[in-house]
Chain A
């Protein structure tokens, strides 16, 4: 059974729908630590994207679930200011393997750029080898679910 992560984030420009496919490492799929029930749509491809239009918008820092990947646990937090993502922070990264450290060093800045790209003043998207592990994406999704965006 393949899992999918579908999440949405409101941006100033419109709806962003993030979808992650393929496990970080075949054949062990990422296992999700227990997280609050939400409309995240994990495992269901038919989730509707959601848009939030809260006038003030949510602000604050929300901590995502710890996701156990084949390389170890990952966890991110997301900081929102009036409903817009301003920062994604790695709280836990797999660190026991050199390749994981290499991945961790590059994956979180990529995640931040992926999450921020539609909001930066002059850039709509970024092209280039964008590595975002499923673990980070799932943790980010859970943090956004907690934020209610």
Chain B
């Protein structure tokens, strides 16, 4: 399955920014090489088979697994990098990679950017002077339509759902597909945690709402399998 990443830059593309874009692209390739569970030779696939991780990848792998442990603690085990017994930190890796790419651009002078990887988004700054970013949330039941619009500056938006991929998020306690929610969107400041929490919350199903309401620094919008929409009081958006 192809993940499409897009970089939307609202600042002038200076030579420094152009260079950072190249580096961000190289970074995403690198992350794919190290962490992809679709690649049999990736460090994560090797680890899953009990083989050693090449030395040069160990710091990054350690960093990601530390983040996974932290997310598992924060979510009472609903985030897991070992869902159903297999090793898969994907729920953490994409957000982490995108947030780092966004940071690389920021450091090069691109302060108003939106990096989107398969619908998980790290936005910084503004879409235009005085205008926050406006991010639509796909309606899982109606292709091409939006369920809500989120607005903000320095905003991460992550949606976990069954939509086109089928039930790919599993309840880490049972290994069974999570199906009570059709989609769950979390917003926060940084995509690394926001993405992990969206994955965890989606696995919780009906329990996600209470958990999200109690979670500081993150807001949520959930769409149930029967099409009902709920959101936390502070959710930065409007239902369409």
Binding site for B on A (CB under 8 A): 2, 4, 6, 13-27, 45-49, 51, 102-103, 105-107, 109-110, 112-114, 117-118, 122-137
Q: A107: which B residues are within 8 A, CB to CB?
A: 164
A8 to B170, CA, bound (A): 35
A24 to B114, CA, bound (A): 25
Closest 6 CB pairs of A and B: A128-B138, A134-B2, A129-B163, A130-B119, A131-B164, A26-B38
Q: Closest CB-CB distance, A136 to chain B, in whole Å?
A: 8
Docked-complex contact B140 and A129, CB < 8 angstroms: yes
Docked-complex contact A49 and B6, CB < 8 angstroms: no
A18-B6, A129-B164 are contacts. A123–B28 as well, Cβ < 8 Å? no
For the complex, is B225 an interface residue (Cβ under 8 Å from A)? Answer: no
A89 to B182, CA, bound (A): 27
Docked-complex contact A19 and B13, CB < 8 angstroms: no
Per a CB cutoff under 8 Å, which of A22, A105, A114 touches B6? A114
Q: A20: which B residues are within 8 A, CB to CB?
A: 2-5
Chain B, range 122-167, C-beta contacts under 8 Å to A: 123, 127-128, 133-140, 143-144, 146, 149-150, 157-165
Per a CB cutoff under 8 Å, which of B28, B133, B144, B146 touches A21? B28
Chain A residue at smallest Cβ distance from B128: A13
For the complex, is B1 an interface residue (Cβ under 8 Å from A)? Answer: yes
A17-B21, A21-B2 are contacts. A106–B9 as well, Cβ < 8 Å? no
Max count, chain B CB within 10 A of own CB: residue among A27, A46, A110: A110
Please name 10 further chain A to chain B contacts, defined as beta carbons within 8 Å, in addition to the given A46-B22, A127-B138, sorted by A numbering: A13-B128, A14-B8, A22-B36, A45-B22, A45-B26, A109-B144, A113-B144, A123-B135, A125-B121, A129-B161
A130 to B94, CA, bound (A): 14
Q: Closest CB-CB distance, A140 to chain B, in whole Å?
A: 10
Per a CB cutoff under 8 Å, which of B32, B119, B133, B136 touches A22? B32
Q: B158: which A residues are within 8 A, CB to CB?
A: 127
Ordered by A's residue number, 12 sampled pairs between the chains whose C-beta atoms are within 8 Å are A2-B33, A14-B10, A14-B11, A20-B4, A26-B38, A109-B143, A124-B8, A125-B136, A127-B121, A128-B163, A128-B183, A130-B119
Docked-complex contact A133 and B1, CB < 8 angstroms: yes
For the complex, is B25 an interface residue (Cβ under 8 Å from A)? Answer: yes
A123 to B28, CA, bound (A): 25
Chain B, range 22-56, C-beta contacts under 8 Å to A: 22, 25-26, 28-29, 32-33, 36, 38-40
For the complex, is B86 an interface residue (Cβ under 8 Å from A)? Answer: no
A115 to B168, CA, bound (A): 25
Docked-complex contact B13 and A15, CB < 8 angstroms: yes
A122 to B8, CA, bound (A): 15
Q: B2: which A residues are within 8 A, CB to CB?
A: 20-24, 132-137
Q: B4: which A residues are within 8 A, CB to CB?
A: 18-20, 114, 130, 132, 137
Chain B residue at smallest Cβ distance from A5: B2
Q: A126: which B residues are within 8 A, CB to CB?
A: 119, 135-138, 146
For the complex, is B7 an interface residue (Cβ under 8 Å from A)? Answer: yes
A1 to B9, CA, bound (A): 30
Per a CB cutoff under 8 Å, which of B29, B134, B159 touches A128? B159
